[in-house]
Each structure stands twice: as C-alpha cells, then as structure tokens.
Amino acid sequence: MTAPTKPPHSSPADGPGDALAGSPLGEGLHDPVIDWFDEHARDLPWRLPEAGPWGVMVSEFMLQQTPVSRVLPVYEHWLARWPRPADLAREAPGEAVRAWGRLGYPRRALRLHGAAVAITERHGGDVPTDHAQLLALPGIGEYTAAAVASFAYGQRHAVLDTNVRRVFARAVTGVQYPPNATTAAERKLARALLPEDEQTAARWAAASMELGALVCTAKNETCHRCPIAAQCAWRLAGKPEHDGPPRRGQTYAGTDRQVRGKLLAVLREAHAPVPQSVLDRVWHEPVQRARALDGLVADGLVEPLSGGLYRLPLT
C-alpha cells in the first residue's frame, strides 16, 4: 500500500451513519488512525508490494479465525510452492489440504483451491480487480472480496472483520462489543466512515483493522496507546459492560473438530491410501470418530476408496 494522503470528507450513505460522515467525529478518525498505522503497522509479508493480489488473497483465507503467528509459516511455504493461482490449480485439491497443515478449518483450503481454479479458467490466471468478479469466485464472501479489492487494488470498500467491527462499536457506537453477526446498521456505519478518496479509504481499512488487532483488542484493550481514545464513545461513557448475549469462547478439546483434526493429520502425513484400522487408532470413541470421518467425507476433505481405504481428495 502507498502512503496515505490527507483524507477528504467521508462520503454520504443512507441510514443512521449519515450524520457521522460530515461530523467532527467522522472526520477526526481518519488522520490519527492512519498516522498511527504508518508508525506501528506490523511488517507482514502480504503487505509487501511483491506479495501481489494472489498473496493478499491467500493471506485473507488463512487469517480467518486464525492468528498471524500461526499463519506466517504456512503462508510462506504456500507462496513458495504456489506463487500464482495457476500453480495451485494444477495440483489436486488434497495437496491444498495437506499444505494447510494445522491451521484449522481446512475447508478453507478447498475453497482457496477452487478459487485458484476459477481464476485460472475465467481470468487468465490473474486475480480479478473487479469486486463483483471477486465475489463470484467460489469460496469468496462479502468480507474477502472487499478485503482483496481494498488491500490488493487500493479500492474503496468497507472491510468489516471482527477487529474493525469492534473498533467501530466502541469508538462510534459506544458499546463494548459488536453484535455476533454483522448487521445492516454496521454496514451503513462503515460506509459512512469511509474516506471518499480511494487511496485513503484503502489505507483506512487496513489501519482500522490493525488498530483492533493490536490496541482495541477484545480483552485487555490498551486505551493509552489508542490514537482516538479522546474521541472514543465507549471510553467517554465509562466503558459500560457488554449487556448483550454472553460471548462464549469456542471450545476444542473433545469436540468433533478435534477428532476431525486428528484424522486429517494422519491423512496429511500419508502419501498412500490409509486403512480404516489406522484411522481407528486416533480416537477412542467409535461413534464420534465415525461421525467425524463421515463429516470429512461429506465436506470433500477426505475421499473414501474401496477396501476401507481413505485419502485426501484428488479431484
């Protein structure tokens, strides 16, 4: 990304966010957050110019519900092996699952492989610049399409991940946490807060996300480091406690997710079909183990063969 320019007034939007676009609050967020980002942004490989749009797309798939520290080694290996979408598209989808390692939520690997195939077939191997074309790729949702268009191509889109939503909820709305699912009101607010200039809007998207990741965190937020603490509605209100539905952390131990991970770990390490008897050793409870294996097959992550053998998918 290039250095930010002086942001103009935010653009208009329908709904309750309209007033913020031209208000001192709406205007006053961009410069301090972007200036903070210029000084404190992490040096991450997908932010380098040489990463290109494909590197940005790969990072966005990997970073969903996964911390940067776990993504970095897998990302670097992935881009070294498959520097362009066509390189991945030539491989079997099971190789994407294998290279995904222990990042979790391995269906993301299949979706990224599917996107690479579509990019190769529909767009000559280049990640499309058009937001609608990005959104039409398999495995690409509202967030990912906006993120790639913004971070890879410098376009003006509201990029709403969990970190950005939390920053906006606190700084503007005055509540500790955003709703569990993104709402229409949040989208309107995000559009209202977008700088009108495309280059500045793209910088704002990255900067607000980084602020949520490093400072305005879900727990133990460090308001003394925040560039907009003096304007934060939640802090000025005395940091009222969350009064919505309880926010429960995801459990893992003993769940089907854990069993699926153990089964996939065996299949990733194997370069030949694996007998059922080998898979039976990874988990003591047969009903849960069978349910997890059936789920992997249904999700296309595991391919059953005759004779009770299993492998990562070839097609």
Q: pLDDT value at position 254?
A: 83
Q: pLDDT value at position 97?
A: 97
**pLDDT band for position 315 (50/70/90)?**
confident
- Let me know: does 163 contact 213? Beta carbons within 8 Å: yes
Q: Distance of alpha carbon 308 from its chain centroid, rounded? A: 36
| Torsion, CA 250, CA 251, CA 256, CA 262, rounded to 10 | 110
pLDDT in tens, 108-139: 999 999 999 999 999 999 999 999 999 999 99
- Let me know: does 34 contact 58? Beta carbons within 8 Å: no
Q: Return the number of other C-beta atoms located less than 10 Å from residue 246's C-beta.
A: 5
Give 293's contacts (C-beta < 8 A, 6+ positions apart).
263, 279, 302, 310
Helix axes 24-40 and 198-214, enclosed angle (nearest 10): 70
Q: How far apart are CA 25 and CA 228, in angstroms?
A: 10
pLDDT in tens, 142-165: 999 999 999 999 999 999 999 999
pLDDT in tens, 189-205: 999 999 999 999 999 99
**pLDDT band for position 12 (50/70/90)?**
very low
pLDDT in tens, 48-61: 999 999 999 999 99
pLDDT in tens, 75-121: 999 999 999 999 999 999 999 999 999 999 999 999 999 999 999 99
60 noted as active-site residue: yes
Which residues of the chain form beta strands (DSSP E)? Answer: 274-275, 303-305, 309-311
Q: pLDDT value at position 13?
A: 36
Q: pLDDT value at position 26?
A: 62
- Let me know: does 282 contact 259? Beta carbons within 8 Å: yes
Q: pLDDT value at position 250?
A: 64
Q: Tell me the pLDDT of the chain averaged across its residues.
A: 90
* Nearest CA-CA partner of 225 in 7, 67, 32, 42: 32
pLDDT in tens, 13-46: 333 444 454 444 467 899 999 999 999 999 999 9
Read off the amino acid at residue 174: G
Q: Please determine, for residue 10, whether its predicted confidence score (pLDDT) is greater than 70.
A: no
Q: pLDDT value at position 253?
A: 76
- Let me know: does 166 contact 177? Beta carbons within 8 Å: yes
Residue 6 or 295, more confident: 295
User: The pTM is what?
Assistant: 0.87
CA-based end-to-end distance of the chain: 37
Q: Distance of alpha carbon 19 from its chain centroid, rounded? A: 30
Q: pLDDT value at position 270?
A: 94
Residue 300 or 8, more confident: 300
User: Which DSSP state fits 195?
Assistant: B
Q: pLDDT value at position 59?
A: 98
pLDDT in tens, 237-262: 999 998 877 766 667 778 899 999 99
List the catalytic residue out of 27, 39, 50, 60. 60
Q: How far apart are CA 227 and CA 91, in angstroms?
A: 46
Q: How far apart are CA 204 and CA 159, in angstroms?
A: 10
Q: pLDDT value at position 246?
A: 72
pLDDT in tens, 263-294: 999 999 998 999 999 999 999 999 999 999 99
Give 2's contacts (C-beta < 8 A, 6+ positions apart).
154, 199, 203
* Nearest CA-CA partner of 6 in 40, 42, 32: 32
Q: pLDDT value at position 17?
A: 43
- Let me know: does 86 contact 116? Beta carbons within 8 Å: yes
